[in-house]
Amino acid sequence: MNTNPKPATQLTPYESILAELRGLKDDMHTLRQELKETRTELNGRMNKLDEKLEDVRKETRSAMRHSQIMVMSSVAIALGVLYAIFFK
C-alpha cells in the first residue's frame, strides 16, 4: 500500500510517458482512419479519370477512323477525276 499518495494532477514520469503514448496511439488511429478515407477518395477520383481517359481514347479512335475515311474518299474522287480526264 502506498502511505504517501500523490495528488491526482501530479504524475510520475512513467505515468506521464504512458499518458503520452496513449495520446500518440489515439493520434495514430485517427491518422490511419484519415488515410483510409483519403485513399478511398483518391481511388474514386482515379476511377473517374480512367473513365474519362477511356472516353477520350474512344473519341480519338472514332475521329481517326473518320479522318481516314475522308482521306480515302478524297483520294478515290481525285483518282476518278484523273481517270475521267485522261482515259475517256
Confirm if 11 and 19 have CB atoms less than 8 A apart.
Answer: yes
Does the pLDDT value for residue 1 go beyond 50? no
Q: Which three cell numbers stand for residue 2?
A: 502506498
Q: What pLDDT score does 11 carry? A: 80
Mean predicted confidence (pLDDT) in 58-78: 96
Q: What pLDDT score does 60 carry? A: 97
Longest dimension (CA), the chain: 125
Q: Which three cell numbers stand for residue 19?
A: 499518458
pTM given for the model: 0.57
What does the alpha-carbon distance between residue 75 and residue 77 come to, in Å, rounded to a whole number?
5
Domain residue ranges in the chain: 13-88
Confirm if 59 and 67 have CB atoms less than 8 A apart.
Answer: no
Tell me the pLDDT tens digit for each residue of 3-61.
555 555 788 989 999 999 999 999 999 999 999 999 999 999 999 999 999 999 999 99
Confirm if 12 and 6 have CB atoms less than 8 A apart.
Answer: yes
